[in-house]
Structure formats: C-alpha cells, structure tokens
Amino acid sequence: MRLGFSLAEVLAAMTIGAMVVVAVLAIYNRAEQSANAVLSKIDESQLPREVLQYIVEDLDNMISSGSDAKVTIQNKVESTAGGKLIPAARLSFTRTITDSRGKEHIFEEVIWQSSYNIESLAEGLVLYRSRSGINLEDKVLQENKYDWERELFVPICSGVTYFNISVPSGDNFVERWDGTPPTGIVVTLSFAEPFKNVDGSYDVPEEEKFTRTIAIDRTRKIQFDIPGAQAGAKVQSQSKEADASNSGEKEPSKTTNTRGKRE
C-alpha cells in the first residue's frame, strides 16, 4: 500500500494556508491604504504650493523695479450648485505702452480668478488664468492665433473652496485694490471641506489654508524702523543708573560672612 495524506490532514493544511493568505492580504491592504493616505496628504499640500508659485512667477515677470504696471484686486462670494457661498477673488495686472500717436495699447495682461463652472464635476470653484496683450507668452504657438483665442481663460485646477487675495496695510488687510502695484500681496488658497458660518457663508479651517505673502518689488530699498534719539537717550540713562546703583552697593559685613560660614 502507498502512503498518503488523510482527508483530515488535507483539510487542515488548506485551512492553515487560507489563514496565512488572508493575513498577508490584510497586511498588504493596510500598507496600501497607509501609502495612499501619505501620497494624498502630500498631493494636498503640493497642488496649492504649485499654484501659488505660478502666481509668484507671473508677478515677478511682469512687475519689476520702476514698472508702470496696474494691479486690480477684487474679492467676492461665489455661489455653487449646492448653495454654498465660497470666497472667490480676481487678480489682474496690466502693463501698457504708448505708440507714436499717443494711443495706449495693452502690452501684456494676466488675470487670475476663481468662479463656479456648472460643467465641473468637482465640488467648489475652478481657478482660471488668462494672458493677453502684444507681448506673446509663447511666440511659436500664439503667433498665428486671433486675439480672442489668446484671451481665453485656461482652467488651472478645480475644487477650490477658498481663494482670497488681499494687500497688507499695517496691521490690517485691504480687500480691494486698483492702481499702482502695492508693496506686497497676500494670496490664500485651500481645497479643504468648507463649514458653514453663522451668516450663511462658508469657510475652511485655518490649518487647511495655504497662504503666500508675495513681495512685488524684491529689489526695492527697505526702510527699517530705527528707535528715535529720545528712546536711545532713555536706554542710556537707564543703563547709567543701573551702573551707578551697582557701584554704590555696600559690601556685606564680616558678621554676615561669618554666620554664613558657620551655617
């Protein structure tokens, strides 16, 4: 008779093998979920930073020292299909030139704005960018295009739940601007899930907002606040009084030293 495995041994081996396979698949599933969570967290912070860097590059390319550019900033509340009132903004900076006849022409103009698109599948706003003017951004692709084709708004990203642009003015921020470039611009962007405020508008948590403070002219001379002569004289008088009080202290008596030694 040939030796073999009994039915009980085969069933036991299959049961143990199935348990091992299930354990391995569970570990693999948990590892995959952890990796996806880490990657999604990285992507959440990477997209806003890339968009903010794109805006910074546009400002650096157009506005420089002694530039006659015009900056326009507008903030509003945009309504979505779900009835959410999401903060939206529009930023435009324009440079013009004058021909020999004294007529002004737009040399280049860049517009960043967020608005709701009914065809967008993502909940939230869509961030658009438009560039137009005589100075072409890509002279190869845009040379044979019409003016209306160059002024199209190109969607950069979707799902924006917070987009605000302001100008720092002391301890406060100005929500509207129309004129010469300010010293700096603060851009705040977020893709987090918004929550409803008491007034009916929607906001996102502060830790989910990505803020970038952009210096318009980095080559400008920065004026530092130096303390006045009175403050300096007050500090010097205080230091002299402290020195005088230190020099006028009496030395401890021998009795005190003796007691300290005895103790």
Length of the chain: 263
Residues 49-53 have a mean pLDDT of 90
d(CA 68, CA 64): 9
What are the helix (H) ranges across 214-253? 229-247
Q: Provide the domain limits for residue 59.
A: 41-215
Give the pLDDT score at 248. 53
Is 195 inside a domain boundary?
yes
Quick one: tokens of 28? 């693999």
Work out the mean pLDDT of the chain and round it to a whole number.
Answer: 78
Total count of domains within the chain: 1
| Lowest-confidence region among 3-7, 125-129, 159-163, 244-248 | 244-248
Positive or negative: CA dihedral 35, 32, 207, 158: positive
Is 118 inside a domain boundary?
yes
Is 13 inside a domain boundary?
no
Residues 133-143 have a mean pLDDT of 66
Is 197 inside a domain boundary?
yes
d(CA 249, CA 194): 65
Q: Is the pLDDT of residue 112 over 90?
A: yes
Q: Is the pLDDT of residue 243 over 80?
A: no
Asked if 59 contacts 43 with a C-beta cutoff of 8 angstroms, the reply is no
pLDDT digits (tens, 9 = 90+) for 166-221: 998 888 899 999 988 888 899 999 988 888 888 777 888 988 899 998 887 656 66
Q: Is the pLDDT of residue 22 over 80?
A: yes
Is 90 inside a domain boundary?
yes
Q: Which long-range contacts (CB under 8 A, 24 or more apart) does 59-66 make?
A: 59/93, 59/185, 59/214, 59/216, 60/218, 62/93, 62/95, 62/108, 62/110, 63/93, 63/181, 63/216, 63/217, 64/217, 64/219, 65/217, 65/219, 65/220
Give the pLDDT score at 90. 94
Is 61 inside a domain boundary?
yes
Asked if 185 contacts 173 with a C-beta cutoff of 8 angstroms, the reply is no
Is 234 inside a domain boundary?
no
What are the helix (H) ranges across 63-112? none
Is 233 inside a domain boundary?
no
| Lowest-confidence region among 1-5, 62-66, 120-124, 205-209 | 62-66
SS3 call for 131: strand
Quick one: tokens of 228? 């006045």
